[in-house]
Structures are given as C-alpha cells and as structure tokens.
C-alpha cells in the first residue's frame, strides 16, 4: 500500500504487543490500513476474552450460590440427626 511507513503504526503495534501476549510478534512496520486491521483483530480478541471472563465469573457465582444452599442443608441434616438421637434416648 503506497502510504509511507511512519512511527504511528509501529508505536501502536508496540503498545499492543506489550499488553497482549496472544498477539503474534510483527517486526515489519505497518501502514495505517494494516494498523487499523490489526487493531480490529485486537479488539475482537479483547471482546472474546471479556466474554470468557464473564462466563468464568458466572460459573463462580453459580458455584458460590450452590455452596450457600448446600451449607444450611448440611446444618439441617446435622440438627435432624441430633433430634433423632434425643428421641432415641427418650425411648430408652
Ligand atoms: Zn498495508
């Protein structure tokens, strides 16, 4: 592409590769068009990562919600066992 290569594309790519480990290392400087294309790919990758994080956090919330309902149930069973023990004792 006829556009002369400037520091802009290089700088943009450098800052991207510093924060994005998944980006392939690009040594050649890019023209504005290529830089914009890379930027779009980075943004798509970021959105994908955000979705994965959201799914992970939703799974964590589900897990902790299950724990919160499991604990009282466990406590309930313990109390029932204690009551049954007492009833057994009263019968004797
Ligand atoms: Zn180009």
Cα angle value 70/71/74 (rounded, 5°)? 90
CA of 21 to the centre of ligand 1 (A): 23
On whether the pTM is more than 0.85, the answer is no
Q: Are 23 and 46 in contact (CB under 8 A)?
A: no
CA of 59 to the centre of ligand 1 (A): 42
Give Cα separations from 84 to 18, 79, 89 (angstroms).
64, 9, 9
Q: What is the pLDDT of residues 29-79, one digit of tens each?
A: 789 999 999 999 999 999 999 999 999 999 999 998 887 776 677 788 888
CA of 2 to the centre of ligand 1 (A): 8
CA of 37 to the centre of ligand 1 (A): 9
CA of 50 to the centre of ligand 1 (A): 29
Residue found under tokens 């406590």: 75
């Amino acid at each position: 592409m006829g556009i002369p290569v400037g520091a802009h594309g290089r700088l943009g790519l450098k800052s991207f590769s510093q924060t994005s480990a998944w980006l392939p290392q690009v040594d050649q400087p890019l023209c504005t068009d290529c830089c914009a294309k890379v930027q779009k790919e980075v943004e798509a990758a970021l959105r994908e990562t955000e979705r994965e994080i959201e799914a992970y956090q939703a799974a964590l919330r589900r897990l902790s919600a299950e724990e919160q309902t499991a604990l009282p149930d466990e406590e309930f069973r313990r109390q029932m066992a204690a009551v049954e023990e007492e009833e057994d004792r009263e019968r004797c």
